[in-house]
Structure 1
Amino acid sequence: MGRLLKILFFLLLLAFVGLIGFAYLGDLRPSQKVIEEPVKLDVD
């Protein structure tokens, strides 16, 4: 049982380190582009 807990702890630690690494090194910015559209105002 202790061996299983050690393996589970190691896997959780590895997943946490991977998540931190992805957060710092991964490109999480959305792609951006400029949208220009004329607006017609009905003002009398």
Structure 2
Amino acid sequence: MGKLLKWLFYLIILGFVALLVYAYLGPIFDADFAPTSEEIRIPVELDAN
């Protein structure tokens, strides 16, 4: 049971490091993480009685 937990811990750490590397090196390999931006206009009627 101890070996299983140790390997699971190593796997979690390895996955975390891989995610960090992908996040920092992704834009170099043409992976854009920025959301697309667009303007949204919604008319609002104030004090509508």
Structure 1 unaligned residues grouped into runs of 5+:
31-44
CA shift at 1:7, angstroms?
0.2
* Aligned sequence identity (%): 53
The count of corresponding residues between Structure 1 and Structure 2 is 30
**Corresponding residue SS for 2:32:** coil
- Distance in 1, matches of 2:26 and 2:16, equals 15
Measure the CA separation in 1 of the matches of 2:32 and 2:10.
31
RMSD: 1.5
Q: What secondary structure, in the 3-state scheme, does the structure 2 residue paired with 1:29 have?
A: coil
Higher RCO (Cα < 8 Å, 6 or more apart): 2
User: 1:29, 1:11 → 2: CA distance?
Assistant: 26
Q: In 1, distance between residues paired with 2:32 and 2:2?
A: 42
Secondary structure in structure 2 of the residue aligned to 1:6: helix
4+ runs deviating over 4 angstroms: none
- Give the whole-Å Cα distance in 1 for the aligned partners of 2:16 and 2:25: 14
